[in-house]
Amino acid sequence: MIDGRIARGDRTRAAVLDAAVAIASVDGLEAMSLARLADATGVSKSGLFAHWPDKESLQLAVVAHAVRQWTEQIVSPALAVPRGVRRLWALHELRMAFYAAGTLPGGCFFVATAVEFDDRPGRVREAIAAAIGDWRDLLRSVAGQAVEAGELRPETDIGQLVFEIQALADAAVTSTRLFHAEPVAAYARKAVLDRLRALSATPELLPEELPMDGVIEPVQVHFEDLDAMGVVHNGRYVLLLERALAAFWARAGWAFDPAEPHFKDVFFVVREFTITYDVPITRVGPVHVQLWLDHLGSTSAVYGFRVMSEDETVTHAQGRRVQVRLDPATLRPAVIGPQLRAACRPLQREAAAQGFDARVG
């Protein structure tokens, strides 16, 4: 039998390290302190000191915890994919899904800390370099297996390919933080897919393109959606998206109605919303809203959307929305149940339908 005190201690330690990884993804490891963690987690400073008597031991523990998180959410699911070029693609896709889910507020622990410690010799730098080196070695190994299997061409420069995959994913993290409206994650995904297809002797094993199929919902633009200039006000695009989401979920049997017994299962709040406006809508009448899920995690969902003309030849706006399910009683994140998860399937991208994204988060 496991001692209850030990189990509680392990849970507390894991929760503290989760918080530390999240904080470091934004502010780096040097800003980390026991006092700050105590404030963030509600654990006493003396209790934390019992685990980590100095700053360096804390930093090393945070790096090790970030490695475990990366392994659980990216590496292990990818290794369940058949070896070769599909596994190489899955590693990149799962990494991008990890970012899209907003798991860490700063995007990526390793991108943040690599920049922070690249010129600082010592044990922490060595631990960060070893973690990133292990990831690059994994990419090399999987790419080498793809060459051996005849799925990548014999002349493939594996070192060059791994550098490009790594550089594109790193760039997606920083560019997303700086340029919120640009679909930089989609650029990084498409660039790697195009590169792998060009190098592959069996490109049919990879998606031909990155589909944004999902569903298309017709919604109505009303007179009150127009502003004084006769175009749909920028703030009303949120309502167009809401109308589309409400229509889809009502048809699927999950209406957002507090009187329904399943209301607690669809109690979601918006964590992030970004939109790019392309062509103004200048009249009332029907438009089409395309919806899809870029990622479905354990407690969160990342929607992509596109507002189009009724004939779908003009894109008026596009963007993404991150939603988190909460327990109505505690307002804490809650797991998305299996029935609701199954109902999400029509919204999921091809990669998600194959199980890549569904295993993340």
Long-range contacts from 39-48, C-beta under 8 angstroms, 24+ separation:
41/15, 41/16, 43/12, 43/16, 47/12, 48/16
Beta partners for 242? Answer: none
pLDDT number for residue 252: 82
Residues 6+ apart with CB under 8 A from 14: 65
Residues in the chain: 361
CA–CA gap between residue 251 and residue 310 (Å, rounded): 20
- Walk along the chain (361 residues) in steps of 10 and give the mean pLDDT of each run: 54 83 92 75 67 85 95 92 94 86 86 95 97 98 97 97 97 81 75 95 83 79 93 94 92 82 89 92 92 88 91 86 93 90 77 36 30
pLDDT number for residue 102: 74
Return the closest-CA partner of residue 303 out of 315, 292, 318.
292
Domains recognised in the chain with CATH numbers? 4-205 (1.10.357.10), 215-359 (3.10.129.10)
pLDDT number for residue 315: 87
CA–CA gap between residue 337 and residue 335 (Å, rounded): 6
pLDDT number for residue 322: 94
pLDDT number for residue 135: 98
Q: pTM for the complete prediction?
A: 0.62
The secondary element (H helix, E strand) that includes residue 80 is none
CA–CA gap between residue 280 and residue 22 (Å, rounded): 38
pLDDT number for residue 353: 38
